[in-house]
Structure 1
Amino acid sequence: MEKLKTALLIGLVILSLVQSYLLVYSFPEIGATVRTEQEYISPEQMGDPLRIDEVLYPEDMVLHMGGDRHAVLYPETSYYIRIYDQITAGEYRNFQRIPYAMRDWDELRRNTQGVELRYGGAMPVALLQKTMQIDGDILFLNDAIDRIWLIRRNFPGRSAAEIYFFSADGETVYMAARSPLTADEISDLAGLGGYMPAYTHWRGDIYLPEEPIETVAYTFGYTTFSPQQMQRSLFFDPNKTRYIEDRSGQVIYTDGKRGLQLESGDTWMVFTDPVPMQDGADNLADNVLAAVQFVNQHGGWDSRYRFVPGAVSSDGRNIVFQQYYERYPLISGGVRYGQIRLLMQQGTAVVYERSLLNLGERQKDIAVRWLPGGERLRATLETFSRLREISAVFPAQYVTLTEDRRLVMEPVWAVRYTDGTVQSVAKAVMDAAAAASADGGAETAGQPSGEHRAEDGANAENASEGEAADSVAVMRQADSADEAGEAEGAEAGAAEPAAGEEGAADDAAGATGEAEREGGTAEEEGEPSEPDVPQADAPLEAAG
């Protein structure tokens, strides 16, 4: 017995030494042993992620050449890219505040050379700093800008460059005392407008082409993302989701908190993730940054988009990104397509809306079209009962969905009213002579009356917090899911004419050594032949 006790004691001592060694020299796993919600995510990407600066760019540029001569440039054209890169490459600082009424802007518009970048709404300076080097006092940095105007001023014996940042309040202008561009450089940039189609100042800040604009109509195939794919992208644990069908037959997928509702024949999704209301105002710049990151993580960007500052609600919560194809925005006709919309609450996405259509291969049956210009376009616009409410006139691609699963893009003139509503007013025609005829009568797009309207993001902003809350409550109840996160479709855009004109512009650009952006889409639609296509642009709609 004594020997047995001794052996047992020795064994225990040895075991104790081994355990002590393991405790001292081993590194046990100290991570969580329970899976977190994030570990369940297996996102279904509809496109690539984008940086914030890739969605912050002007909706158009106006080149003022003096003598009341003007030209308008649109995104993804070669001159637009060249000018934008040069303007954003330098540093702007030492801003001086001046009252808007201190300058005669109409006289400067007519008789000076300059370049005007127009954002189509109030762009926070904090976001502009993501695209260009800007330094100023606290009042300037907390303001919002709707346009930047670079002017060459001529004085006796000298010339000077003046750079103005226009506050969206319409009363204040900031003049940069220090800028990277000289008067001669501004003159050179404005002179590029001589190679472009001529535009005439019409009303307010609207410019109309003097001649018809050559454009192109396209047809695309498409695929759709399934509800299961979107569940994997949006729900932490798709295995715990269930679907509920209400009395109208509408289906909502939910995990008890979040809801995914499919609309428009399962081609449009509304995802709602309710969060408790918090005290404090929303910061627009922070919400836009958070919105871009959210889309990067939940679906990505299937083409080129632009943040639409004019669609932001007064509380800074409704965020809209407009889809472009080549140089023009997409507005929809009978199909919800062309926008990504989010309702943000202090950096958190509460409602997320987008199309489930994935733009496929472009068909070969493209066709040259002519958007009317000159007297014919003016006569068409001046017949509208809401003439005084028109705030912008721009070319767009009107998107329709055919029964044989094709997306058709037809060029149209569109107007944006002061309330944010977008309406197509004149369809492109096949004959340039007909487009120039003042008595030809503009063909309307989509509907015979020409009254098709696409709800701009500015209308979507009217989706109040109360409506969002109602939407969330409905999703939690099985029997009224059809009201959840509903937002009447539509699209808005902001990018204006110029197509065939830029073909000529590029010919001239060759003489001036103009460089095209790598992998870009500086197409000039001026040639009847098929222009080079950038990556396809994706949907955009509003958060209800």
Structure 2
Amino acid sequence: MKERLKTATLVMLVLGSLVQSYFLIYRLPGSDSVVRAENSYIKTETMGPEEKAENLIYPKKILIHLGDNKHTVFYPDQMFYELVYNRLKGREFDSFQRRKVNNMDWSKLRSSSKGIELSFGSGMPVTLLQKVMQIKPDSLFDGESIHKMWLYSIDGEPKVHALFFSTEGDVVYEAAQVDLTIQDIHQLVDFGKDWVPYTMQEENSLYIPEEPVGMVSMVLPIGMYTVEQMQRSLFFDPSITRNIRERDGSEIYTDSKRSLQVDEGQNWMNFTDPAAPPSGESSPGKDVLSAIEFVNQHGGWNGGYRLSQSKDNKDRTLVEFQQYHRGYPILNTLDFNYGIMKLELQNGTVTSYERSLLYIETEEQKKKIVNLPVGDELREQLDILSKSMKIVDLEPAYLPYITETGLWLKPVWAVQLQNGSMKALE
């Protein structure tokens, strides 16, 4: 009888332990099986492929300084761009020293010394650049954002200088330890010897090509994400959303917390979640990674993109991704919103998400080579524009137009203005 009681007691203890384990695993807060908090990024309907952060972080162009006031420019997807960038990504940079920008004669250095200049546009957080380049952690440097990286050698000196220019404007960091030799720099610079020659204008530091710059004009088939797809992607329960039509013709879909505004004329959407609770400490680098994860889980990427902006705005971070095709940016214009994704984050949580509902297919149609204006013709256009606007940069780009057969990408020169906006030269 005692043995039976012991056995029964043991069975009850085992069953009780199993029941307790079940509730611990499946019911307590923090368990993976519990429905996640509403502000977490849950994988939803897939409309485009996901993308890794490393594939979105790269320079908008690489300037090659050949010495004797000779220069050239490489753009993404060009063979020499890839060769130079891939080699630099494998080299180490360590022991950073902070300097003032105005302590150097940059114009003289640019014209007389051989070097490589990587332009990142409006700025790249160092913590993100560390994902693609061998930049050693450094407490002095890690919190910065840089807008360009410059590697050069000076005749008679045995070392390579590696400078990182802060977006603050008056600060530059030099890596005291660089895994590059003077021969390495000269070999990379030599890739530009037979490329299109560029002349730098001293008054505005713009680089003007002196020989033809060819781009491919083309038409690409397009598709469009439906409102239903976006609702399934962005709302936790699309069945409870209600529709509101605005006077300007746009449609708003809301579940009383979040809203999805669709401009049918522009095929543009703006999703806002103002009630998203803060999730903790953040930084521009972390916020960019959160933005990439959000796009991965809520629509995906409809083509190639580059991180073009990561900007602090008080307690918020503005993140922008620029769409590229054949290595050139597709411009977003007032007449046609396309070519960018914009996100706003607060403490690592996305509170605003804007993008086009249009997407392009990969098959290119009606292709032809177009030569952009160069030399004096281009200088004349820039001189006219500079009388009314402050120009800070120049690059080839695509101007998009909707046609009956798809999206026409027209090759143009685009200038960046002092306020950060882009304008096509036509």
Could you state the TM-score of these two structures normalised by the residue count of structure 2? 0.88
1:347–1:36 CA distance, 2 compared to 1 (3 A):
closer
1:105–1:253 CA distance, 2 compared to 1 (3 A):
same
1:171–1:340 CA distance, 2 compared to 1 (3 A):
same
How far did 1:279 drift? 12
Determine the C-alpha separation between the residues in 1 that align with 2:279 and 2:134.
33
Contact 1:243 1:251 in 2 (8 A): yes
Q: Which amino acid aligns with 1:250?
A: S
What's the counterpart of residue 20 of structure 1?
Answer: 12
Moved more, 26-35 or 338-347: 26-35
Contact 2:151 2:162 in 1 (8 A): yes
Deviations along 1:434-484, one digit per CA (max 9) or x if unpaired, are: xxxxxxxxxx2xxxxxxxxxxxxxxxxxxxxxxxxxxxxxxxxxxxxxxxx
Are 2:192 and 1:200 equivalent residues in the alignment?
no
What's the counterpart of residue 164 of structure 1?
Answer: 163
How far did 1:97 drift? 2.2
How far did 1:198 drift? 0.4
Residue correspondence of structure 1 range 128-527 to structure 2 within 5 A: 128-135=129-136, 137-155=138-156, 159-202=158-201, 203-265=203-265, 267-275=267-275, 283-309=283-309, 312=311, 314-315=313-314, 317-332=317-332, 334-386=335-387, 389-402=390-403, 404-425=404-425, 444=426
Determine the C-alpha separation between the residues in 1 that align with 2:345 and 2:287.
6
Helix, strand or coil at the partner of 2:365:
coil
Unaligned runs of 5+ in 1: 1-12, 426-443, 445-544
1:343–1:374 CA distance, 2 compared to 1 (3 A):
same
Contact 1:381 1:387 in 2 (8 A): no
How far did 1:313 drift? 5.1
How far did 1:19 drift? 7.7
Deviations along 1:168-200, one digit per CA (max 9) or x if unpaired, are: 223222221111110000011011111210001
1:26–1:290 CA distance, 2 compared to 1 (3 A):
closer
How far did 1:270 drift? 0.6
Could you state the TM-score of these two structures normalised by the residue count of structure 1? 0.70
Contact 2:320 2:342 in 1 (8 A): yes
1:232–1:68 CA distance, 2 compared to 1 (3 A):
same
Deviations along 1:250-286, one digit per CA (max 9) or x if unpaired, are: 3211111011111143621110111368799962222
1:363–1:120 CA distance, 2 compared to 1 (3 A):
closer
Are 2:72 and 1:81 equivalent residues in the alignment?
no
Structure number with greater CO (CA < 8 Å, separation at least 6) is 1
Helix, strand or coil at the partner of 1:141:
coil
How far did 1:247 drift? 4.2
1:283–1:386 CA distance, 2 compared to 1 (3 A):
farther
Q: Which amino acid aligns with 2:101?
A: Y
What's the counterpart of residue 485 of structure 1?
Answer: none
Determine the C-alpha separation between the residues in 1 that align with 2:298 and 2:196.
41
What's the counterpart of residue 488 of structure 1?
Answer: none
How far did 1:103 drift? 2.1
Determine the C-alpha separation between the residues in 2 that align with 1:106 and 1:124.
26
What's the counterpart of residue 105 of structure 2?
Answer: 104
Query: Counting helix residues as a fraction of each chain, which structure ranks higher?
Result: 1
Unaligned runs of 5+ in 2: 28-32
What's the counterpart of residue 528 of structure 1?
Answer: none
What's the counterpart of residue 496 of structure 1?
Answer: none
Determine the C-alpha separation between the residues in 1 that align with 2:41 and 2:187.
56
Determine the C-alpha separation between the residues in 2 that align with 1:400 and 1:168.
33
Determine the C-alpha separation between the residues in 2 that align with 1:289 and 1:314.
17
Query: Counting strand residues as a fraction of each chain, which structure ranks higher?
Result: 2
1:257–1:188 CA distance, 2 compared to 1 (3 A):
same
Contact 1:40 1:236 in 2 (8 A): no
Q: Which amino acid aligns with 1:110?
A: S
Q: Which amino acid aligns with 1:20?
A: M
Determine the C-alpha separation between the residues in 1 that align with 2:228 and 2:197.
51
1:100–1:250 CA distance, 2 compared to 1 (3 A):
closer
Helix, strand or coil at the partner of 1:196:
coil
Contact 2:332 2:340 in 1 (8 A): no
Determine the C-alpha separation between the residues in 2 that align with 1:150 and 1:17.
76
1:266–1:61 CA distance, 2 compared to 1 (3 A):
closer
Q: Which amino acid aligns with 2:346?
A: Q
Identity %: 36
How far did 1:241 drift? 1.7
How far did 1:137 drift? 4.1
Deviations along 1:135-170, one digit per CA (max 9) or x if unpaired, are: 364232222211111112211xx6421111122223
Moved more, 263-272 or 242-251: 242-251
Helix, strand or coil at the partner of 2:154:
strand
